[in-house]
Chains A and B, each alone.
Chain A
Amino acid sequence: MDVNDKTFRALATSLKFREMRQELMTGNVANAQTPGYKSVKLDFEEALARATDVDGNLSMNASDERHFNVGGGGFNNLEPEVYEDPNGIVSENGNTVDVEAEMARMAENKIMYDTTVQLINKKLGLMKYALNSEK
């Protein structure tokens, strides 16, 4: 059993990107009244899903280490998409931050972050259980 398997790396990557998202959202809330500030968003779900590819539909067999690893992870060079929110409502001073929506997204992000941590713990728990089962 590979301790650092795909699931584990996907969970870790998810944590990392949610941290980044949290940072961008705190920036948006802090700048809710800054003239001309544009709200920024971060998307990683699709990229992560592609890298994880749970069903294995997209992965290719690699029989040589020089083969490209297609669909079989690639977590290390996964890049989230960071962009200025194109749907933001521009207020009279040119600001596009919607604080309420931002707080809601922050709450969601926190819940998903906590869930991810719990999943990691569950996985660690399984390993621990396997290690202790002889006793």
Chain B
Amino acid sequence: MDLLTSLRISASGLAAQRKRMESVSSNIANAQTTRTAEGGPYRKKEVVFGSEPARDSFAEILEGELDEKAQTVHVTEVVNSDKPPILKYEPSHPDANKDGYVAYPDINVMQEMADMIEAQRAYEANVSAVNTTKSMALKTLEIGKN
């Protein structure tokens, strides 16, 4: 338990938001993708956040309650949305079915942009927390330095 633990917690927040950003940009880039490796149109990716106690060694586990309460965050899983694809009538498209309909992923680009802004703001909040922690740690070094 110290300021370095705080830094680690903020770093976990940064990493989680970065992963979220990855899936958001993947969703935007593939908003019109009709062909994927696993077959069918692209499916929207959604990240799921989970928290866990901030401790990484046995000594810290022994330290007790506070580290139980101070939680890091991490992406527990990335799920593929099971929303049905949107069918568009495009008979000349190579991926059209026998009735002439093409399955496009059901991705709302506006919603993805909003998600992106949320991820960005959360990232910034974590960066600012890192800076605060860092300046506190540096201030500690000034004790007795006059």
Contacts and interface: CB of A to CB of B under 8 A. Distances in A.
Nearest to B20: A33
A22 B5 CA distance: 10
A11 B113 CA distance: 47
Nearest to A20: B66
A117 interface: yes
Contact of B49 (A26, A31, A121): A31
Contacts of B1: 19-20, 23
A26 B69 contact: no
Interface residues of B, number: 40
A33 B49 contact: yes
Given A31-B51, A120-B143, A121-B145, A110 B136 contact: yes
A23 B1 CA distance: 8
Interface in B19-64: 48-51, 54
A102 B9 CA distance: 15
A34 to B, nearest CB: 4
Contact of B139 (A20, A37, A117): A117
B70 interface: yes
Nearest to B136: A113
B51 A103 contact: no
B140 to A, nearest CB: 7
Interface of B: 1-3, 5-7, 9-10, 12-13, 16, 48-51, 54, 65-66, 69-73, 118, 122, 125-126, 128-129, 132-133, 135-136, 139-140, 142-146
Identify the 5 closest CB pairs spanning chains A and B, nearest first.
A30-B13, A27-B70, A34-B49, A26-B6, A26-B9
